[in-house]
Amino acid sequence: MKKYFYHLRVLSSALFLFALASCGTNKEEESNAATQDTIAVASAKDTGDLTKDFFYALPSPLVMAKVFKKTGLKYVEGIANSPDNISKYSSVGRKTLNLGVYSSDLAYTVLNKQSQQASKYIEVMKKLSDDLGMSTLFDSDDYLMRFKNNLNNEDSLINIVCQLKGDMDIFMKDNEKEKQTLMIFIGAWIENMYIATQLTKEANKEKVAMRIAEQKFILNSLMNLVTSYQNDAELKDLFLKLSDLKTLFDNLSVQGEDEKLVMDELQLKAITEKTRDLRKEIVG
């Protein structure tokens, strides 16, 4: 009798494991069935699959900085976050956000031929990456050494920054660091926005204002991604502040067939102030 119960118990365990394995399969089939008819449903499924797929490509800090620079944005010393501020960042969340901030500062200094300052930014990026358990990222291709060996060659520095971004993207995906990727992007986006909004007087105001207004589309995409983390302890507060900024962008009017965004002085001022406040909270 005892032996019979033992066999029954083992059989039950096997059946339970079978049911567990079947669950995944059924879920997949259900998912397939749900997505086969309409694209809209497929898109909704995509959002739910955020942790598995990096289905959304957002512009790199270098490209954002490049687009702003083309409007005539000049280099102003002291506008970017000081590398010395790294000592302020003790939590994983702040280190991650400021890794993004410094990646934009690196782009800003490289594009403006400030190679000595740029080398300080890549150093702090390495330090933060090491602290965040991503030391293999910089070590794999000896980025720091290559960067320092090419300080007099702007094209090489830009190439190194692009390669580093590429390696970082692969590293983050293959190590399933979706949330950290998003936080790095938020830090980078805010820093680029901060630099652009603070320097509108130094540039072709109309052109830079147009590029700032266009960030509405990038912010919309960003918010779609952040929404999945709106209850996350590290992102909750940031989500609310970004939502406030989004409200300001949503108030911009659209004109003409090409749906050009129009931003007046007051709207630019409000976006500038909100961006400054948000950036202040991130960089401390």
Partner 1 sequence: MIKKVILTATACFLLLFHSELSAQQCKVKPIVNSCKSSLPPYQYDSYAVKEVVYGAKAKKEVLEFSVYSGEEYKLVFGKTELPQEINITIYDKHPSKKDKNIVYMDESGKKDNFVCNFQPTKTGTYYIEFEIPAATAANQKGCFVMLIGIKE
**Region of residue 133 (phi > 0: left; psi between -120 and 50: alpha; otherwise: beta):** left
Rg from Cα positions in the chain: 23
Q: Are 197 and 267 in contact (CB under 8 A)?
A: no
Cβ within 8 Å of residue 60, ≥6 positions away:
107, 162, 165
Stretch that binds partner 1, among 11-19, 87-95, 244-252, 264-272 (CB under 8 A): 11-19
14 in contact with partner 1 (CB under 8 A)? yes
Among 1, 33, 233, 266, the residue binding partner 1 under the rule CB under 8 A is 33
The DSSP letter of residue 89 is -
Stretch that binds partner 1, among 91-99, 111-119, 154-162, 233-241 (CB under 8 A): 154-162
Report 163-202 residues binding partner 1 (CB under 8 A).
Answer: 163, 165-166, 169-170, 173-174, 176
Smaller CB distance to partner 1: residue 86 or 208?
Answer: 208
The DSSP letter of residue 257 is T
Smaller CB distance to partner 1: residue 89 or 138?
Answer: 138
281 in contact with partner 1 (CB under 8 A)? no
Bridge partners, residue 262, by sequence: 253
139 in contact with partner 1 (CB under 8 A)? no
Residue 79 corresponds to which tokens in the numbers above?
């506008």
Distance of CA 18 to the CA centre of its chain: 40
Distance of CA 24 to the CA centre of its chain: 31
252 in contact with partner 1 (CB under 8 A)? no
Stretch that binds partner 1, among 42-50, 82-90, 94-102, 266-274 (CB under 8 A): 42-50
CB of 53 to partner 1, least distance (A): 5
> Which among 89, 78, 87, 50 has a CA at the least distance from the CA of 181?
50
Q: Are 88 and 102 in contact (CB under 8 A)?
A: no
Q: Are 127 and 83 in contact (CB under 8 A)?
A: no
User: Cα separations (Å) of 108 from 77, 113, 164, 169?
Assistant: 11, 9, 15, 20
Length of the chain in terms of residues written: 284
Question: How many residues sit close enough to partner 1 to count as binding (CB under 8 A)?
Answer: 59
Among 149, 159, 251, 253, the residue binding partner 1 under the rule CB under 8 A is 159
162 in contact with partner 1 (CB under 8 A)? yes
- Taking every pair of Cα atoms in the chain, the longest distance, rounded to a whole number of angstroms, is 89
Report 55-74 residues binding partner 1 (CB under 8 A).
Answer: 55-60, 62-63, 66-67
1 in contact with partner 1 (CB under 8 A)? no
Using CA atoms, how far apart are residues 196 and 227, in angstroms rounded to an integer?
Answer: 26
Among 1, 2, 5, 36, the residue binding partner 1 under the rule CB under 8 A is 36
Among 1, 2, 24, 87, the residue binding partner 1 under the rule CB under 8 A is 24
CB of 201 to partner 1, least distance (A): 22
Query: For binding to partner 1 (CB under 8 A), which residues are involved?
Result: 6-7, 10-11, 13-14, 17-18, 20-21, 24-25, 28-29, 31-33, 35-36, 38-40, 42-43, 45-46, 49, 52-60, 62-63, 66-67, 158-159, 162-163, 165-166, 169-170, 173-174, 176, 211, 214, 217-218, 220-221, 258-259
